[in-house]
Structure 1
Amino acid sequence: MTEDSSSTFDAFRQAEALVAQRRPLDALQVLAPVLEAEPNAPSVQLLAGRAYLGSAQLRRAEAAFRRVLELDPTDHYAMFALGKTLQRQSRLPEAQTQLRLAVAMSPSPEYQEALGEINARIAVERSK
């Protein structure tokens, strides 16, 4: 491993820890050079998306999750995260589509709960 790749890896891990500590703005600062060095790495885009979502930068989060799905269309977590991002933007039908796909790919309780929330919100809005 070269010194550059080692420092990129260390910065990625540090940014990951900061996201886990709910410090998304700090994570984005640490992640900036990693994003520049590895713009086509799904893991880097996914982490950036999580940090953007955590800091309510919803359009940037959406773009990052969509980029992950361009790079890896089978990433069910990116679909779930994109669905949650769209939900926060009140784009419920689009969110529902992403969450349905995520549940179909990996029927985890977290994904199913999120889809249930969207389905309920859409049903309430239709009944108004």
Structure 2
Amino acid sequence: MSDGQERVNGGGVGGEGGGVVPAQNGSGAPEGGVYDWFRRGSKLLEQGHPAAAEQLLARAAEAEPHSRSIRETLARAQFDAGLYAAALENFRAVALADPADDYAQFGWGVAAARLGDFETSAEHLALAVAMRPESEHYRAALRQTRATLAARAGAFGPLLPGAPGYSAPPTGQDETR
């Protein structure tokens, strides 16, 4: 351990202890090359450590910006880490590079929904569902987005007092206007 950061929780990323901080060389850069960063980042994501995965995958994406597999995995890590705007941009880049990538369209849609852009969400989720209609996960996300759009448009009637999101009319104003 040259700088004290190679091991956390009993082991490095590839070690037996399942640590979450990538091994680093003396310059602070992760050890290995782009493929190593991608593999370790993917493993961290699988193990439930999206923020640590995002660090390695961002480094890999910086080195190989045109790699769709790196960008898609980075987007998944960013989404799981709550970095929805960054995830949206990476899912978007993958989908623009390959419009037939149903997972990238799905990712773009769910990230847009998390950011409150339900119109964009519905568009990309509908594309994902059209490409893979058998995916219940895709269909459920599209139903949720469409229900949100319908509720915002008042399709279910006015909110009643006590309902989440209900705001009482201002007091003292003429209600006949």
Determine helix, strand or coil for the equivalent of 2:65: coil
Corresponding residue for 1:45?
A: 71
> Is 1:65 the equivalent of 2:117?
no
* Counterpart Cα distance in 2 of 1:32 and 1:99: 25
Gaps of 5+ in 2: 1-31, 159-177
Which of the pair is proportionally richer in helix? 1
Partner Cα separation in structure 2 for residue 94 and residue 32 of structure 1: 25
Residue in 2 that maps onto 1:109: 136
Q: After TM superposition, which residue ranges in structure 1, 4 or more long, deviate above 4 angstroms?
A: none
Q: Does 1:29 align with 2:55?
A: yes
**Corresponding residue number in structure 1 for 2:41:** 15
Is 1:123 matched with 2:141? no
CA RMSD across the alignment: 1.4
Percent identity, aligned pairs only?
34
1:96 to 93, 99, 122: 122
TM-score calculated relative to the size of structure 2: 0.65
Q: Secondary structure at the match of 2:75?
A: helix
Work out the CA distance in 1 between the residues paired with 2:113 and 2:59: 29
Question: Unpaired segments of 5 or more residues in structure 1?
Answer: 1-5
Deviations 1:60-116 (CA, angstroms, capped at 9, x unpaired): 111101110122111100010110000001111110000000000111111001111
Counterparts of 1:13 and 1:77 in 2: how far apart (Å)? 20
Q: Supply the distance in 1 between the matched residues of 2:85 and 2:146 (Cα, whole angstroms).
A: 23
How far off its partner does 1:30 sit? 1.7
Look up the match of 1:3: none
TM-score (norm 1): 0.89
Q: Matched residues in 2 for 1:76 and 1:24: separation? A: 22
1:29 offset after TM fit, Å? 1.7
Range 97-106 or range 61-70, more displaced = 61-70
Larger radius of gyration: 2
Letter in 2 for 1:106: R
Deviations 1:36-74 (A, max 9, x none): 221101001101111111111121111101110122111
TM-superposed CA distance for 1:20, in Å, is 1.8
What amino acid is aligned across from residue 101 of structure 2 in structure 1? D
- Which range moves more in the overlay, 95-104 or 118-127? 118-127
